[in-house]
Amino acid sequence: MPQQRNRVDQSSQGRLRDVFNSTGHRLTAQRECVLQLFQELGDGHHLTAEEVHDRLRKAGQSVALATVYRSLKLLVEIGLLEEVEWREGMRRYELRHNHGVEHHHLICMRCGVTEEFVSEVLNGAAADVARHRRFKLVEVRLTLHGLCRSCRERSDQSG
Ligand SMILES: [Zn+2]
Ligand SMILES: [Zn+2]
């Protein structure tokens, strides 16, 4: 059984290498580390570059913060990760979903909690707008900024 798992891992690494090669980039150990972190966490995790750096450090991987920044940027460029504009100048990164449904984000301006939602109504409206303006729609990403439930409750209590 361990052999079989190893084989699967090698072929997925091969595919990954193909993705990199086809875009003219090299799959370095650091880039792979960064991507692997997201793959292990799975869908629905949104991390800043600092958080990625921190988690890698705690896992015993020494990747410089500048390298983490560059790796994230590249992984977005070749379509393996997605970028969420969190606040002005602040970005979070997540695994690119493969199931083809656009999802959107609710972001708490106080504690930073990020929730995902899917809305067919919203995606349909975006498609209508694009059609009317003869715009070829590539992606729809909506970010709602506000206060999450627990932050609201906390501020209600303090008056
Ligand atoms: Zn997301
Ligand atoms: Zn909050």
Contact 31, 12 (CB under 8 A): no
| Cα distance between residue 94 and residue 39, in whole Å | 9
Ligand 2 mean position, distance from CA 118 (Å): 20
Tokens of 96: 């690119």
| Cα distance between residue 54 and residue 66, in whole Å | 13
Q: Which ligand is nearest to the CA of 94?
A: 1
| Helices 29-41 and 65-77, axial angle in degrees (round to 10) | 70
Ligand 1 mean position, distance from CA 101 (Å): 11
Q: What is the pTM of this model?
A: 0.76
What are the helix and strand counts (H, E) for the chain? Answer: 6, 5
| Cα distance between residue 68 and residue 126, in whole Å | 33
Indicate the CATH number for domain 102-159: 3.30.1490.190
Ligand 1 mean position, distance from CA 29 (Å): 25
Q: What separation in angstroms does the CA of 158 have from each of 145, 150, 151? A: 21, 13, 11
Ligand 1 mean position, distance from CA 69 (Å): 19
| pLDDT tens-place string over residues 19-60 | 888 888 988 999 999 999 999 998 888 999 999 999 999 999
Return the domain boundaries, the chain. Answer: 1-98, 102-159
Q: Cα-flanking dihedrals φ and ψ of residue 77, to 5°?
A: -55, -40
| Residue 33 in marked binding region | no
| Residue 148 in marked binding region | yes
- Average pLDDT of the residues in 73-97: 87
Ligand 2 mean position, distance from CA 26 (Å): 39
Top pLDDT among 46 and 8 is at 46
| pLDDT tens-place string over residues 138-152 | 888 888 999 999 999
Which is it for strands 81-87 and 90-95: parallel, antiparallel or unpaired? antiparallel
Q: How does residue 2 score in pLDDT terms, banded at 50, 70 and 90?
A: very low
Q: Which ligand is nearest to the CA of 106?
A: 1
Report the top-level CATH class of 1-98. mainly alpha
Tokens of 33: 């580390």
Ligand 2 mean position, distance from CA 114 (Å): 9
| Cα distance between residue 107 and residue 115, in whole Å | 7
Ligand 2 mean position, distance from CA 143 (Å): 15
76 contacts: CB under 8 Å, gap ≥ 6: 82, 83, 93
